Amino acid sequence: MILSIESSCDDSSIAITRVDDAKVLFHKKISQEAEHTKYGGVVPELASRLHAKELPRILESAKEYLSDIKAVAVTNEPGLSVTLLEGVAMAKALSIALKIPIIGIHHLKAHIYSLFIDNIVKFPQTVLLVSGGHTQIIEAKNHADMEVIATSIDDSFGESFDKVAKMMSLGYPGGPIIEQLARSGDENRFAFPIPLLHSNRLAFSYSGLKNAVRLEIEKLGDLSQQDKSDVAASFQKAATEHILHKTRYYFRKKSPKSVAIVGGASANLYLRNRLEILCASFNAPLLVAKLKYCSDNAAMVGRCALESYKNNEFSSINELLVHPKSSKIN
C-alpha cells in the first residue's frame, strides 16, 4: 500500500491506496474552509498551523495500515510554501521511521489522476484543469509527459470566483457560493467582458473580468439579494464563456478524441454542462472525476504515486524540497 499526504493549500488529507488494484482503502480529508471564511481567502500561516494539528490526527486513524505501507507520497509542488512543508515534514518522518521510500508528487499531475480513481481512463488525454491556483489546458500523453498548452496569465478561474464572492462579502470558497447564487440570477443583466475575446493568444486571464465586476458592484452601491444573484450569474457566464472560447479555439486545431475536466472548480455544473455541449460538437466525450475527488485530496496523490511506484521513481529524502511556484508538470 502507498500512504499519500496532501497539504498544498487548505485541505489536510491522507489516503491509503492498494498497489495491486489501485483501490483507495482509506481516505480522510479535513477542510479548513470554516476557519478561512471570515478572511475571504486562505491565510497561509493559519492553514499551516491547522495542518500541523490535523495531519497527525488523520494519521492516527490510519494506524492499522502502517505495517503494510511500502512507500509514502506527498505533494511537494506547487502550493503555499508553509503548508506544503507540513506534509513534506510528515512524509519524511514516516519515510525514516518506517524505512520506506518517499515520492514527491506534482499537485497538478495528481489532479489529472483524480480521473483514474474508480474509473477506467487511458492516456493520451486532453485535460482542462480548473482550480484555485490554475486554469490550464494540458496534453497528458503519459505518466512522464504532460505538456501545458495554455495557462493563466493572472488570476485563475476558481480564484476569480473567490474574489467576486469576497467583493460581495459572501464567504470562502467563493466557487460553490457563486454557483448557487447564480441559479436564481439573470445571467444577461450585466454584459461583463469576456477576457481575451479578440486575441488569438491561447491563454487564460481573469483579472480584467474581476475588475469589471468590482466596478459594477461599486456602481450598484447597496446590493439587494437579486442584485447579488444577477452579478453572480452574469459573472459566471462570462468566466465560462472565456474557457469555452479558448478551448473551442484549441479543439479546432487539435480535434481531441476525448476531453477531461479536473480540479476543484470542475465541480461547477454550469461549466460542466456548457463544456459537455462543446465537446459533443467535436464528438469527444467529456470525462469527469468523482465529485469527492475534484477538490484537493490525498487519494489523487496516491493514485498518481502508484504509477511512480510501479516505475521505481522515488525521490531522495535530502533532495525532496517544496517548490511553491513550480509550473512545469514533471
Site of grid cell 440570477: 185
**What, of Zn ion, ligand KG4, none, does residue 267 touch, CB below 5 to 8 Å by kind?**
ligand KG4
**30, 12 Cβ separation under 8 angstroms:** yes
Q: Which of 87, 101, 104, 158 binds ligand KG4 (CB under 6 A)?
A: 158
In angstroms, the CA 198 to CA 84 distance is: 38
Which one of the spans 67-75, 170-178, 284-292, 315-323 is the region binding ligand KG4 (CB under 6 A)? Answer: 170-178
- At its nearest, how many Å lie between Zn ion and the CB of residue 304? 12
Residue-by-residue DSSP string for 154-218 = SS-HHHHHHHHHHHTT--S-HHHHHHHHHTTS-TTSS-PPPTTTT-----B--HHHHHHHHHHHH
**What, of ligand KG4, Zn ion, none, does residue 171 touch, CB below 5 to 8 Å by kind?**
none
What mask, x for binding Zn ion by CB under 5 A, covers residues 276 to 305? --------------------x---------
Instruction: Give the start-end residues of each E strand in 204-285.
Output: 259-262
- Measured from the CB atom, the residue of 216 and 296 that comes closer to Zn ion is 296
Which one of the spans 175-183, 218-226, 242-250, 304-312 is the region binding ligand KG4 (CB under 6 A)? Answer: 175-183
37-43 contacts at long range (C-beta below 8 A, 24 or more positions apart): 37/171, 37/172, 39/172, 40/162, 40/165, 40/166, 40/169, 40/171, 40/172, 41/162, 41/166, 41/172, 42/9, 42/10, 42/80, 42/172
Q: Which of 9, 170, 181, 209 binds ligand KG4 (CB under 6 A)?
A: 9
- At its nearest, how many Å lie between ligand KG4 and the CB of residue 283? 27
- Measured from the CB atom, the residue of 13 and 247 that comes closer to Zn ion is 13
**194, 213 Cβ separation under 8 angstroms:** no
* 175 near ligand KG4 (CB under 6 A): yes
* 131 near Zn ion (CB under 5 A): yes
Cα atoms in the Cβ-side hemisphere of radius 13 Å centred on 213: 31
Backbone angles phi, psi at 199, to 5 degrees: -115, 145
Question: Bridge partners of 64?
Answer: none
Q: Cα angle at 69 between 28 and 16, to 5 degrees?
A: 20
CA–CA distances in Å: residue 135 to residues 42, 198, 226, 260: 18, 19, 29, 13
Three-class DSSP category at 25: strand
Residues 92-151 that bind ligand KG4 (CB under 6 A): 131-133
- Measured from the CB atom, the residue of 111 and 237 that comes closer to Zn ion is 111
* 174 near ligand KG4 (CB under 6 A): yes
What mask, x for binding ligand KG4 by CB under 6 A, covers residues 238 to 277? -------------------------xxx-xx---------
Grid coordinates representing 22 are: 489501485
* 195 near ligand KG4 (CB under 6 A): no
Grid coordinates representing 280 are: 459533443
| Parallel, antiparallel or unpaired: strands 2-6 and 11-17 | antiparallel
| Chain mean position to CA 165 | 18
- Measured from the CB atom, the residue of 134 and 246 that comes closer to Zn ion is 134
- Measured from the CB atom, the residue of 81 and 220 that comes closer to Zn ion is 81
* 83 near ligand KG4 (CB under 6 A): no
- Measured from the CB atom, the residue of 94 and 288 that comes closer to ligand KG4 is 288
- At its nearest, how many Å lie between Zn ion and the CB of residue 289? 12
Which one of the spans 126-134, 219-227, 299-307, 322-330 is the region binding Zn ion (CB under 5 A)? Answer: 126-134
Question: Which residues of the chain form contacts with Zn ion (CB under 5 A)?
Answer: 131, 296
Question: Which residues of the chain form contacts with ligand KG4 (CB under 6 A)?
Answer: 9, 131-133, 158-159, 161-162, 173-176, 179, 263-265, 267-268, 295-296
